[in-house]
Amino acid sequence: MSPSPLEIARVGPLEREYVLEVLSSQFRTSTNSQMTQRLEQKFAQVFESRFAISFINGTATMHAVLAAAGIGAGDEVIVPPLTMASTSFAVLHAGATPVFADIDPCMWTLCPKSVEQRITSRTKAILPVAIYGLSADMDALMSIAKRHHLFVLEDDAQCFLGKCHGRINGSIADASSFSFQSSKHITSGEGGMVTTNDAELADRVRRFNSLGYAAVKAGAGKGKITRETIQDPVYLRHASLGWNYRMPELCAAVALAQTERLPELVQARIHAANAYAQALQGCKWLVPQHVPEGFVHSYWTYAVALNCGDAFTWYDFRRKYREMGGDGIYAAWQLTYLEPAFRNQRFSPEQTQCLAPGLCPVAESLQPRLVQLKTNYFDPAATERAATALHNTIKYFN
């Protein structure tokens, strides 16, 4: 296990400094978007992308990218079932239809073989999720996309500084989406970011999140409309349809500080994951998510599968873990297509999938057995307590 890090603040002095900088501007229009531009420039640098475009949340990001890519009514987007439903909601927001492919039985990310089996003449995109902080097999998925001329959008909401064969997640696909929701590696309360290396796509994404304003561009320093332009009586503002998905300056201030602090924020979670892994040594009935060679996991959470048969239940395990001093555990989300909003629904006349049990058997077998352990500890003592609770729980059931 790596040496214990020092205690760090989830939100610290740098965030406060940047927030006060925004407040001291009195929200003058002449200073508007300056913090946002600084955030986008820094984020693009960290995630090795030409462009980064900030958003109000990490669902709006995916909606905007799909729309900017020309995906809409009659189109299909292949998605995983084991993730937050927001991924599939974004597809529906764009007017397209989500098509569910199964997951890899060891990595728990979108299975390339299942993806290829789901491709039809209506398939236009693949939307893999880096679940729990682990990248999908992006090399395989990008190869499939190239053969079938498909757009790829990474959902990296849970994956900051994760890597796939030496490439950072956020730089691999046609575009990538990040979330700054309160549980994520970076948070500004709410917020999100899109990264891409495609200049034309970036411009369309920027216009979509800015009410279709003609003057906005994705490049650094061009994310706002000048006073000279806006005061012109013949100015034609709206070049296309768009939404108001822009990130507020106060959120950008916090997100900028968190981006600058990202290595230490991620390392705190990796330290927790390492502590859990040590507690798991020798246990045969708790199986962690497999991290293939060449992948770097960023551990938004530490997930394990409970393989105990009928010896005890998921609820028994959670109850004992809490009795042993653990903070509690989270279950995995219900599979998206089994949620009431999706189950047995038809989202387009052309839909061929029946959204019902049996659609993705690997995911259906895994989901009820998943144990998600917290990694968002910023005090090493709290990490130690959680790992000790896990060790003692395992000892109790052995």
Residues 363 and 243 in one domain: no
Nearest alpha carbon to residue 261 among 2, 11, 54: 11
Residues 94 and 240 in one domain: yes
Residues 250 and 269 in one domain: no
Reading the chain (398 residues) residue by residue, the pLDDT tens digits are 444 567 899 999 999 999 999 999 998 876 778 999 999 999 999 999 999 999 999 999 999 999 999 999 999 999 999 999 999 999 999 999 999 999 999 999 999 999 999 999 999 999 999 999 999 999 999 999 999 999 999 999 999 999 999 999 999 999 999 999 999 999 999 999 999 999 999 999 999 999 998 878 766 444 556 777 778 888 888 888 999 999 999 999 999 999 999 999 999 999 999 999 999 999 999 999 999 999 999 999 999 999 999 999 999 999 999 999 999 899 999 999 999 999 999 999 999 999 999 999 999 999 999 999 999 999 999 999 999 999 999 999 99
Nearest alpha carbon to residue 100 among 263, 342, 389: 342
Asked whether residue 68 is assigned to any structural domain, the reply reads yes
The domain of 296 spans 263-397
pLDDT at 220: 46
Q: In what order do the strands lie in the sheet with 163-164?
A: 167-168, 163-164, 295-296
The residue behind tokens 């390339």 is 112
Asked whether residue 183 is assigned to any structural domain, the reply reads yes
pLDDT at 153: 98
Catalytic residue of the set 113, 124, 146, 184: 184
- Token reading at 390: 């896990």
Nearest alpha carbon to residue 90 among 70, 60, 129, 53: 60
What phi and psi, each to the nearest 5 degrees, are found at residue 264?
-75, -35
Cβ-based neighbours of 397, under 8 Å, separated by 6 or more = 285, 308, 311, 312, 317, 320
Residue 376 sits at the vertex; the CA angle it makes with 370 and 382, to the nearest 5 degrees, is 105
Residues 325 and 315 in one domain: yes
Residues 128 and 251 in one domain: yes
The residue behind tokens 């999908």 is 136
Single out the residue in 261, 286, 307 at which a domain terminates.
261
How many C-beta atoms lie closer than 10 Å to residue 238's C-beta? 12
pLDDT at 145: 98
Sign of the CA dihedral 42, 44, 47, 48? Answer: negative
pLDDT at 1: 43
Asked whether residue 200 is assigned to any structural domain, the reply reads yes
pLDDT at 225: 64
Nearest alpha carbon to residue 152 among 124, 125, 112: 125
Single out the residue in 227, 261, 295 at which a domain terminates.
261
Nearest alpha carbon to residue 174 among 125, 129, 113, 110: 125
Residues 227 and 132 in one domain: yes
Nearest alpha carbon to residue 2 among 336, 204, 269: 269
The residue behind tokens 């709410």 is 190
User: Is 146 one of the catalytic residues?
Assistant: no
Q: Beta strand 167-168 with 175-179: parallel, antiparallel or unpaired?
A: unpaired
What phi and psi, each to the nearest 5 degrees, are found at residue 318?
-60, -45
Residues 109 and 212 in one domain: yes
Q: Are 122 and 148 in contact (CB under 8 A)?
A: no
92: domain CATH number is: 3.40.640.10
| Integer Cα distance of 154 and 49 in angstroms | 13
Single out the residue in 235, 261, 287 at which a domain terminates.
261
Residues 128 and 212 in one domain: yes
298: domain CATH number is: 3.90.1150.10
Q: Which residues on neighbouring strands pair with residue 77, listed in sequence order?
A: 98, 125
How many C-beta atoms lie closer than 10 Å to residue 229's C-beta? 13
Domain count, the chain: 2
Residues 185 and 197 in one domain: yes
